[in-house]
Copies of this chain bind each other. A is one copy, B any other.
């Protein structure tokens, strides 16, 4: 089999990224109302919850709903303050200041989503404090400037308390600057609806995959680090749509994806076999 490829790619300015069509999102509780109330008061938010439970999709949905640009920044331990705020770069024989993604969001005024904030270095975390004050400023020390955020700007953090260790704690001086919303995996019927919509598999397969997700998550107290995300269930549905047998699809998209532990793999294999007989 060969496959022709389109080698065209597109690029955007970071702060001009708008979602052009409504992201598919099914609310579970009053999270939409809470977000809107906080946004009205410009109260920054923390989203807590496990991997793949829909936090990123929710922020995309709210960005579309509020018609705000969305700047997403994946935090990691090597992200420096300069990476966020900006730096001088030599360009030809003159030096040009390049705004980082946080400065871009502060100036453009959209939603700035710092994903997995506990991974960030302390300088990054401290940097955002004055943006959560009544002053809403970002110090750009290399330029000797203070930027006052545009009116529409709001800061959102995400983090996964399951990972939280003594070393990677979200300090109180940071967390007490935010209202916190806790998320979990959607209930079975909503998850089945999502799986069907996203993977194009049959309703029955979607329901069984949602059931599989629920049962695998129950293994979390029995040696499984983290439950299967909705995303993995969707992958399984997509492979089924491509004609991969049900159990094999679940094996590679769910079982082998969530663990390397052979004992846990056998337990999940049994769950798969009991659902997809």
| Bound CA span A172–B93, Å | 46
Cβ contact within 8 Å between B123 and A78:
yes
- Provide the A247-277 mask, 1 if CB < 8 A to any CB of B, else 0: 0100011001110100000000000000000
Residue from A34, A52, A164 having most chain B Cβ neighbours under 10 A: A34
Q: Taking the complex as formed, is A219 at the interface, i.e. its CB lies under 8 A from any CB of chain B?
A: no
Residue from B90, B149, B258 within 8 A of A172 (CB atoms): B258
Closest 8 CB pairs of A and B: A5-B152, A37-B242, A161-B260, A180-B256, A78-B123, A6-B151, A172-B226, A76-B126
Cβ contact within 8 Å between B9 and A106:
yes
Q: Taking the complex as formed, is A229 at the interface, i.e. its CB lies under 8 A from any CB of chain B?
A: yes
Q: How many A residues are at the interface, by size bracket? A: 35 or more
Cβ contact within 8 Å between A65 and B172:
no
**Interfacial residues of chain A within 85-142, with CB under 8 A of chain B in the complex:** 87-95, 98-101, 104, 106-110, 115-116, 119, 121-123, 125-127, 129-130, 133, 139-142
Task: Point out the residues of chain B lying under 8 angstroms from A244, CB to CB.
Answer: 33-34, 37
Cβ contact within 8 Å between A7 and B109:
yes
Q: Kindly report which residue of chain B lies nearest to residue A144, judged by CB atoms.
A: B14
By a beta-carbon cutoff of 8 Å, the part of chain A in contact with chain B is: 1-15, 17, 30, 33-34, 36-41, 43, 46, 48, 51-52, 56, 65-68, 72-81, 83, 87-95, 98-101, 104, 106-110, 115-116, 119, 121-123, 125-127, 129-130, 133, 139-152, 160-161, 163-164, 171-173, 175-182, 225-226, 228-229, 231-232, 235, 238-239, 241-244, 248, 252-253, 256-258, 260
